[in-house]
Chain A
Amino acid sequence: EVRLVESGGGLVKPGGSLRLSCAASGFIFNYYSMNWVRQAPGKGLEWVASVSSSGESIYYADSVKGRFTISRDNAKNSLFLQMNSLGDEDTGIYYCVKWTGAVTGTGRLDDWGQGTQVSVSS
């Protein structure tokens, strides 16, 4: 059974930083691209970032480019999101999500963690 467990969320002041982690189990982690997807309170889903299975290819949403860094440690079956210069607009639940298939094409977000809450407020 695929299991994705996020941690590292919390309350942070505007301009602050947080590092999210995701512990993966139940599948061969280094075979799959991984993503972060977030959801602001009462809003829809927003894709944040993606990292390829090897870690060589990385993509970001424009809204986080230059502020967030996605990375992975295949030896530890872990995914990370370093978030800097946080603003109110970054508040929400952050999901760690496994991607199956090609980066573009018939790929999909097929396994989701339960999410970790990030709140940015003074």
Chain B
Amino acid sequence: DIKMTQAPSSLSASVGDRVTITCRASRNIDIFLNWYQQKPGEAPKLLIHAASRLHTGVPSRFSGSGSGTDFTLTISSLQPEDFATYSCQQSHSTPYTFGQGTKLEI
């Protein structure tokens, strides 16, 4: 199975900050990497697929990059509604696997 490791596990930031979260795969997954956002008490939502493609309706302050084993999710200017937990997931092969999540706090 492909292991996904995110860093950091938690992060404190302020409104307006630029934030980067990293995700590393245990082997080459090409660009087959998705990012999700989850707020407390809610279901996850897809943000980015295929490493860098913004899902419909997602604000342009979110961006993704990377290929192979190393990926990043960047929020260019944090908004109050962005404080949430972010998870990466590989779609290269089954079993699909997720990172452990990064909790972004104020």
For residue B46, CB closer than 8 A to chain A, the reply is: yes
For residue B91, CB closer than 8 A to chain A, the reply is: yes
**Interface pair B101/A44, CB less than 8 Å apart:** yes
**Interface pair A45/B101, CB less than 8 Å apart:** yes
Interface stretch of the complex, out of B12-20, B67-75, B76-84, B92-100: B92-100
**Interface pair B98/A104, CB less than 8 Å apart:** no
**Interface pair A109/B95, CB less than 8 Å apart:** no
**Interface pair A47/B96, CB less than 8 Å apart:** yes
Q: Is the interface of B mostly helix, strand, loop or mixed?
A: loop
Size band of the interface chain A makes with B = 20 to 34
Q: Give the complex CA separation of A106 and B95 in angstroms.
A: 15
For residue B62, CB closer than 8 A to chain A, the reply is: no
Size band of the interface chain B makes with A = 20 to 34
For residue A11, CB closer than 8 A to chain B, the reply is: no
Output the residue of B34, B42, B94 with the most chain A CB within 10 A. B94
Output the residue of B89, B93, B95 with the most chain A CB within 10 A. B95
For residue B87, CB closer than 8 A to chain A, the reply is: yes
Q: Which residues of B contact A (CB under 8 A)?
A: 1, 31-32, 34, 36, 38, 42-46, 49-50, 55, 87, 89, 91-101
Q: Which residues of A contact B (CB under 8 A)?
A: 35, 44-47, 50, 59-62, 95, 101, 103-115
